[in-house]
Amino acid sequence: VYGTRGRATPRAGEFREGIIVVKPGADLDAVAARVRELGFEATTRGTAFEAMVREIDGVVRVVKRVAFGFGAVILALAAGLLWSTTSRIVADSRVDIGLFRALGATKGDVRRLFLSEAVLLGMLGTLVGMLIGWGIAFYLSRWSLSEARQSLADAEQMLVLPDSVFQIDVVFCLQLLVAAAGVSILAGLLPANRAANVDPVQALKRE
């Protein structure tokens, strides 16, 4: 308690912290509990490592939130890009659209054609992105565990380390694909409606 009395350094017989060495086979948790009963804080190697793991887990959660934020921005950019791409395809396909309509295709047929193309582009892009993300996450997990094993000298702590921290959340991936399909439909809806409303006579007259 000397730190609370205004002294920066301890006097003789005063200590800020200490190390307790126990015999092999001793119950560390019981010793730590007894130290706490005496009014002191007690930390074992195991609890210190668990605290470090919890701290790392907290950092990972923050990184995940940041990643989701970037993901939302990227999703908005992807939707804009998909809208632009579909609009360009519609503009370049006006003659084909006029020919389809002249052959008996309805507005609904044309709309479904371009919406299907937009969904296909969106889901293919999502699948490619997930594959790249899985590859990066796999190698990052191997690298981080390799670095952790080199920095640990205690065999007990090394046993606590998992063999891998890489895992695939199948439910989340399926939800992501469904969301990608929904965003693709929204992004391609306006260009698809524009394509459906193309006048076949005017389109073929331009040709």
pLDDT in tens, 7-61: 666 677 767 677 888 888 888 888 888 888 887 888 877 777 677 777 777 777 8
- Looking at residue 154, its pLDDT comes to 58
Arithmetic mean of pLDDT, 101-109: 83
Q: What is the pTM of this model?
A: 0.59
Please give the structure tokens belonging to residue 174.
Answer: 């399926």
- Looking at residue 5, its pLDDT comes to 54
Q: Are the C-beta atoms of residues 115 and 188 closer than 8 Å to each other?
A: yes
Q: Is the pLDDT of residue 118 over 70?
A: yes
Residue 207 three-state SS: coil
Mean pLDDT for the chain overall: 79
- CA 84 centroid distance within chain: 26
- Looking at residue 77, its pLDDT comes to 85
Residue 171 burial (10 A CB sphere; 0-12, 13-18, 19+): exposed
Q: Specify the DSSP class assigned to residue 39.
A: T
Please give the structure tokens belonging to residue 203.
Answer: 């389109």
Arithmetic mean of pLDDT, 179-183: 86
Taking the CA atoms of residue 49, residue 54, residue 58 and residue 59 in that order, the dihedral angle to the nearest 10 degrees is 10
Please give the structure tokens belonging to residue 160.
Answer: 């606590």
Q: For the ranges 76-85, 139-148, 169-178, which has the lowest average pLDDT?
A: 139-148
Handedness of CA 153, 157, 159, 164 (dihedral sign): negative
> Residue 15 to residues 10, 32, 39, 44, 81: CA-CA distances in angstroms?
6, 18, 14, 18, 65
> Residue 61 to residues 68, 174, 183: CA-CA distances in angstroms?
11, 21, 26
Q: Is the pLDDT of residue 80 over 60?
A: yes
Q: Is the pLDDT of residue 157 over 60?
A: no
- Residue with the larger pLDDT of the pair 88 and 155: 88
Q: Are the C-beta atoms of residues 143 and 127 closer than 8 Å to each other?
A: no
Which residues fall within 8 angstroms of residue 80, CB to CB, at 6 or more apart? 187
- Looking at residue 84, its pLDDT comes to 87
- Looking at residue 155, its pLDDT comes to 53
Longest dimension (CA), the chain: 102
